C-alpha cells in the first residue's frame, strides 16, 4: 500500500460517458469534425448521436478527461481513494455506470447529481491513429460551486495536497476552479491545469488567463500549445518556446511553474523555471496502436501518480509515458488488469 493519505489529489472536470466507434473520414467531414480534435457539440450534432447509436456498433466507455486521469493514477497507485473526483452527472443509468466504473478503479467519486438533466456523453470517433471527440455536456454543464461548499467536500479539500482541473471545465464553472486554485495558493499546495483543447485558448482565453497565475503545473499537447501561443499573441509555434514563455507568465506564488507539453510520439518538453528538458518517447509499432483516445489523459494520470508521491520530474514523465502506451494498446481509456510499472 502506498504511504499517501486518502484524498491526496482532487480532480475536477466533466464526467462523460464515451460513445466510441470507428468511422471513415467521410463521416467526420459530414458532421464538420476534424480528425484530431475535441469540441463541444452544438444542435447540429444531435442527429449525429442518433445515427451513431443506430447505424454503428458502439462501445460505452467511462470518459471525461480528469476522471480518466484519476482512474489511471489509481491503477498505478494500487491503493483506493488516494484521489477524489468532483463533477456533475444526471440521476440516470449512465451516471450510475460512471460512478461504479470510477469507484471500481479506486476513485472517491463525489458527484453533484442533477435530478432533471441527463448525464453527459462524448462521441469518441476513431479514424486510424486519430481520435475526434465531440462532447454533449448535458448534466456536466450544470455543476455549481455550492457543491464544493458542502461540509463533507470542504473536509476533502482541506485534506488534499494536489489539485488537477482540466481546461474543459472552464466552460462550466470558473468560480469553482478559482476556489480550489486560491485555496491551493493560500496553503502552499500544488494546483495543476490542462489546456485540454485548442478551443479553450481560442474562445475562453479571458477565463483561462484569470486561472493561470495560480497554476503550478501546466499540461498540454502540441496543438493546444500552438493555440495557447496564438491567444497570447506570441509569434511562435515552436513547442519549446511556447513552454518557456508559458512557464514565465505571472504567478501568484513563488514556486516556479512547471510546464509539461506532450507531442504524441515526439519528445515530452518540460520547462521548470527557465530550464528546458526533452524526454524521448518510445515509439509503438503501428500494429500495437489500437486507439489514441485517452492517451493524453493517461499521461497525466501516470505523471501525477508519481508527482504526488514527491518523485522527481523524470520519474513522473517516465510513468506518464508508460501509462499512455498501455492505454493506446486498448480501446478507450481502459487499463490492463495488471500494472507492470512497479
pLDDT averaged over every residue in the chain: 93
Residue 67 cell numbers, joined: 476522471
* Confidence at residue 339, expressed as pLDDT on a 0 to 100 scale: 78
Number of H helices, E strands in the chain: 13, 14
State how far the Cα of 85 lies from the Cα of 109, in Å rounded to an integer: 5
Taken in order of first residue, the domains within the chain and their CATH numbers are 9-15+63-119+138-328 (3.40.1190.20)
pLDDT at residue 129 in the model: 81
The percent of residues above 70 in pLDDT, for the chain, comes to 98
Does 126 have pLDDT greater than 70? yes
pLDDT score for 191: 98
Span 173-195, pLDDT tens digits? 999 999 999 999 999 999 999 99
Between the two ends of the chain, the Cα-to-Cα distance in Å is 12
Distance from C-alpha of 298 to C-alpha of 71, rounded to nearest angstrom:
9
State the pLDDT at residue 220: 98
CA atoms in the 13 A half-sphere facing the CB of 260: 26
Please state the separation of Cα 153 from the chain's center in Å.
Answer: 21
Contact in structure between 185 and 34 (CB atoms under 8 Å) = no
Confidence grade of residue 342 (pLDDT, cut at 50, 70, 90): low
Spatial CB neighbours of 283, under 8 Å, sequence gap ≥ 6: 265
pLDDT exceeds cutoff 80 at 331: no
Give the pLDDT score at 1: 46
> For the segment 47-101, what is each residue's pLDDT rounded down to a tens digit?
999 999 899 999 888 889 999 999 999 999 999 999 999 999 999 999 999 999 8
State the pTM of this model.
0.94
Per-residue pLDDT averaged across 218-233, rounded? 97
The predicted-structure confidence for 274-322, as pLDDT tens digits, reads as follows 899 999 998 888 888 777 778 999 999 999 999 999 999 999 999 999 9
User: How far is 18 from 59, CA to CA, in rounded Å?
Assistant: 8
Beta-carbon contacts of residue 258 (< 8 Å; ≥ 6 apart): 216, 217, 218, 247, 270, 271, 272, 313
Which set of grid coordinates corresponds to residue 117? 438533466
Q: What is the pLDDT of residue 61?
A: 85
pLDDT given for residue 206 in this prediction: 98
Contact 135, 14 (CB under 8 A): yes
Q: Which helix (H) or strand (E) element contains residue 215? A: none
Higher pLDDT: 331 or 5? It is 5
pLDDT of residue 181: 98
Beta bridge partners of 113: 89
Residue 337 has pLDDT above 80, yes or no: no
Query: Given this model, what pLDDT does residue 332 score?
Result: 64
Active site annotation includes 297:
yes
134 forms beta bridges with 39, 123
Amino acid at each position: 500500500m502506498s504511504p499517501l493519505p486518502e484524498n491526496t489529489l482532487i480532480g475536477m472536470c466533466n464526467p462523460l460517458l464515451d460513445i466510441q466507434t470507428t468511422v471513415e473520414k467521410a463521416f467526420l467531414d459530414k458532421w464538420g469534425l476534424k480528425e484530431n480534435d475535441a469540441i463541444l457539440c452544438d444542435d447540429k450534432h444531435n442527429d449525429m448521436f442518433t445515427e451513431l447509436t443506430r447505424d454503428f456498433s458502439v462501445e460505452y466507455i467511462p470518459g471525461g478527461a480528469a476522471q480518466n486521469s484519476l482512474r489511471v493514477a489509481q491503477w498505478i497507485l494500487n491503493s483506493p481513494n488516494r484521489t477524489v473526483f468532483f463533477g456533475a452527472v444526471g440521476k440516470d443509468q449512465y451516471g450510475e455506470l460512471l460512478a461504479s466504473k470510477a469507484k471500481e478503479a479506486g476513485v472517491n467519486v463525489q458527484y453533484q447529481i442533477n435530478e432533471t438533466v441527463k448525464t453527459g456523453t462524448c462521441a469518441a470517433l476513431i479514424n486510424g491513429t486519430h481520435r475526434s471527440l465531440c462532447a454533449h455536456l448535458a448534466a456536466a454543464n450544470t455543476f455549481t460551486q455550492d457543491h464544493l461548499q458542502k461540509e463533507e467536500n470542504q473536509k476533502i479539500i482541506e485534506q488534499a495536497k494536489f489539485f488537477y482541473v482540466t481546461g474543459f471545465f472552464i466552460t462550466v464553472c470558473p468560480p469553482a476552479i478559482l476556489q480550489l486554485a486560491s485555496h491551493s495558493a493560500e496553503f502552499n499546495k500544488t494546483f495543476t491545469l490542462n489546456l485540454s483543447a485548442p478551443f479553450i485558448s481560442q474562445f475562453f482565453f479571458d477565463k483561462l488567463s484569470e486561472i493561470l497565475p495560480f497554476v503550478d503545473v501546466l499540461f498540454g499537447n502540441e496543438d493546444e500549445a500552438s493555440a495557447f501561443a496564438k491567444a497570447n499573441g506570441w509569434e511562435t509555434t515552436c513547442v519549446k518556446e511556447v513552454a518557456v514563455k508559458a512557464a514565465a507568465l505571472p504567478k501568484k506564488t513563488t514556486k516556479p511553474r512547471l510546464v509539461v507539453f506532450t507531442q504524441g510520439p515526439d519528445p515530452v518538453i518540460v520547462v521548470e523555471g527557465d530550464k528546458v528538458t526533452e524526454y524521448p518517447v518510445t515509439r509503438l509499432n503501428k500494429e500495437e496502436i489500437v486507439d489514441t483516445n485517452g492517451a493524453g489523459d493517461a499521461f497525466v494520470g501516470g505523471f501525477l501518480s508519481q508527482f504526488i508521491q514527491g518523485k522527481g520530474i523524470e520519474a513522473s514523465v517516465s510513468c506518464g509515458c508508460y501509462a499512455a502506451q498501455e492505454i493506446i494498446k486498448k480501446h478507450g481509456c481502459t487499463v490492463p488488469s495488471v500494472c507492470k510499472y512497479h
